[in-house]
């Protein structure tokens, strides 16, 4: 599948995990089949916009947020996007911890 399918799928998985939802529960909330949710999350299915909208609605995530920062150039070399994807996959507590670690590391970069 395309890189964009994989990125959207990963974002859906990230939001689902953050909300502590199973694939089955997300499927129920979105009106999609659980197998389909898994395939979309793995980037195996090229989901329709209608399906993505249903999933985003079930996650209470604006549709635009799923597509944020996509298409801004080559994703494989886009370090800020890679960092965003990495951090967004973490829980809120883990995100805060990673942020504090980065701030502390930044303090010592010029010493």
37-52 tens-digit pLDDT:
999 999 999 999 999 9
Distance from C-alpha of 7 to C-alpha of 98, rounded to nearest angstrom? 21
Q: Residue 97 — φ and ψ, nearest 5°?
A: -65, -45
- The first and second tokens of residue 88, run together, are 């967004």
Which domains occur in the chain, in start order? 3-107 (1.10.260.40)
Each residue of 13-44: pLDDT tens digit? 989 988 899 999 999 999 999 999 999 999 99
pLDDT over 70, % of the chain: 92
Residue 1 pLDDT class (50, 70, 90 cuts): low
User: Under 8 Å CB-to-CB from 75, ≥6 apart: which residues?
Assistant: 3, 7, 81
Q: What pTM value is reported for the model?
A: 0.73
């Amino acid at each position: 599948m395309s890189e964009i399918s994989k990125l959207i799928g990963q974002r859906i998985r990230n939001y689902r995990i953050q909300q502590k939802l199973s694939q089955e529960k997300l499927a129920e909330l979105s009106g999609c089949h659980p197998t389909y949710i898994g395939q979309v999350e793995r980037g195996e299915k090229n989901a329709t916009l209608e399906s993505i909208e249903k999933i985003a609605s079930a996650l209470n995530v604006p549709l635009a947020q799923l597509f944020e920062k996509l298409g801004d150039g080559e994703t494989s070399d886009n370090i800020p996007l890679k960092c965003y994807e990495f951090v967004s996959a973490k829980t809120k507590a883990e995100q805060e911890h990673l942020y504090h670690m980065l701030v502390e590391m930044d303090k010592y970069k010029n010493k």
